[in-house]
Structure 1
């Protein structure tokens, strides 16, 4: 029995509307002249101007952006090697423990991770004098711990689909394993690395629970500021800032997707 195309299209359309109507409404109301977020009173850009004079909001946004970039790069670097070990090293002593350590942040509630890291840093501060206070560095460590697992799983899945004959050919031609990795394996799994980078960046910028436990005076991230303000009422400035983030992320995803598709076309052309 052939599937009903009309029903499929309707279901897909409803799904997309459910996902994107809230985002579109946020973008539209960021140009609202009224101080009431849900009452339209005319087109205005005043909330974008007001946002740039909101020091707390701008500082929190820059802090989240810096931590997100640092987390994305560190997670891709560590997670790539972890995924490579899981996919290529076979059964070695401690592989079960290693796999469990990589997978643990995916299943352990984030509040438990935040508490455990908080206690760790407090005890380290007492015994070693480091860290002297919680701030950007401690938040970054917590985010990397969470995001490395996602990158490792993505890279591991991509490597399992990779034909080992390509790497073996490089070894037969005299290349060292390290040269094979950087010249053959890394370009092929580049799409997985870009996906892991984008996912890590998004998780870091969006994180509330871990950041709440690991932040300190002067190190409040954007989600914490938004969460604290929402409890007192919605602020149109946050709509403007969210719209800017949506625009930047959309441009980043489109550009990354363009380069990923171009790389895939080159790979297919070379294979043919």
Structure 2
């Protein structure tokens, strides 16, 4: 019986819709012409211009620092929140707590950005902290909405985890803290890494919330790109986007290679144990 080619055709159309714009962006980053649609020849001109664009490089470095701090803070708070939802049972206020954790996942970013701005302004008037809007308020705002994503990832991993491993460790005399660091933490480590990467990506990509809580001297890369689009997109952005795509693709390829290598090692060890 001949299989239908329709699923493969639809898959090809979907992949082309997703990745063809990225391919065009990479190709036109090597275009010698300032126009984003007219090809006049291959050149590294815009990469050279990017290296000399101090404002864009400073914004990119600031975005990376904010994303790193956000991811670390979101992982700590999100892991604690996930542990409470997965391990503490039906405590008083659980429904309210779960709702507060889930709210940033569905709340429009415009509403959340405005709410955080009002919070920071009110806090400054009452206690004098934070003083103005800048990097600190951006990091706090990003942690507020990214920790919800981390909490969902950690909670899902803890729910599917075999609780008997922790119970066996406690039956052997291990204290709860040691059980967490020796048993639970290594098992949920992949989920923690996934949550960290997710928070890092969300923070690096955020524009709406950042626009509300940023101030002078705290212009991030998405804000630079957005303002460039309104005033006329610069070809240097294509070069910067190509570098980001290359870094992400390298990281994904390296992660896939390490995962495949670990799977082969696991299969080899299981086969050797089976022969023994």
Per the alignment, in what secondary structure is the counterpart of residue 83 of structure 2? Answer: helix
Task: State the partner residue of 1:82.
Answer: 81
Aligned length: 271
The alpha carbon displacement at 1:165 in A equals 1.2
- Equivalent-residue separation in structure 1 for 2:68 and 2:47 (angstroms): 24
Task: State the partner residue of 1:108.
Answer: 107
Task: State the partner residue of 2:218.
Answer: 219
CA contact (8 A) 1:67 1:140 kept: yes
Cα distance change, pair 120–195 in 1 and its aligned pair in 2 (3 A):
same
The alpha carbon displacement at 1:71 in A equals 0.9
Cα distance change, pair 125–261 in 1 and its aligned pair in 2 (3 A):
farther
- Once the two structures are overlaid, the 10-residue window that deviates more, 53-62 or 7-16, is 7-16
Write the deviation string for residues 18-43 of structure 1: whole angstroms up to 9, x where unpaired: 11111111111111100001111111
Aligned positions of 1:176-255 closer than 5 A = 176-255=175-254
Q: Does 1:174 align with 2:173?
A: yes
Normalised TM-score (structure 2): 0.91
The alpha carbon displacement at 1:177 in A equals 1.5
Aligned positions of 1:1-272 closer than 5 A = 4=3, 6-260=5-259
- Equivalent-residue separation in structure 1 for 2:179 and 2:155 (angstroms): 17
Normalised TM-score (structure 1): 0.93
- Equivalent-residue separation in structure 1 for 2:189 and 2:262 (angstroms): 9
- Equivalent-residue separation in structure 2 for 1:29 and 1:193 (angstroms): 37
Write the deviation string for residues 89-138 of structure 1: whole angstroms up to 9, x where unpaired: 11011111111111111111111111111111111112222222111110
- Equivalent-residue separation in structure 1 for 2:221 and 2:209 (angstroms): 13
Per the alignment, in what secondary structure is the counterpart of residue 173 of structure 2? Answer: coil
- Once the two structures are overlaid, the 10-residue window that deviates more, 247-256 or 208-217, is 247-256
Write the deviation string for residues 42-91 of structure 1: whole angstroms up to 9, x where unpaired: 11101011011111111110111111111111111111111111111110
- Equivalent-residue separation in structure 2 for 1:163 and 1:206 (angstroms): 35
The alpha carbon displacement at 1:258 in A equals 4.2
CA contact (8 A) 1:194 1:256 kept: no
- Equivalent-residue separation in structure 1 for 2:165 and 2:14 (angstroms): 40
Unaligned runs of 5+ in 1: none
- Equivalent-residue separation in structure 2 for 1:136 and 1:127 (angstroms): 20
The alpha carbon displacement at 1:3 in A equals 10
The alpha carbon displacement at 1:197 in A equals 1.3
Unaligned runs of 5+ in 2: none
The alpha carbon displacement at 1:186 in A equals 1.5
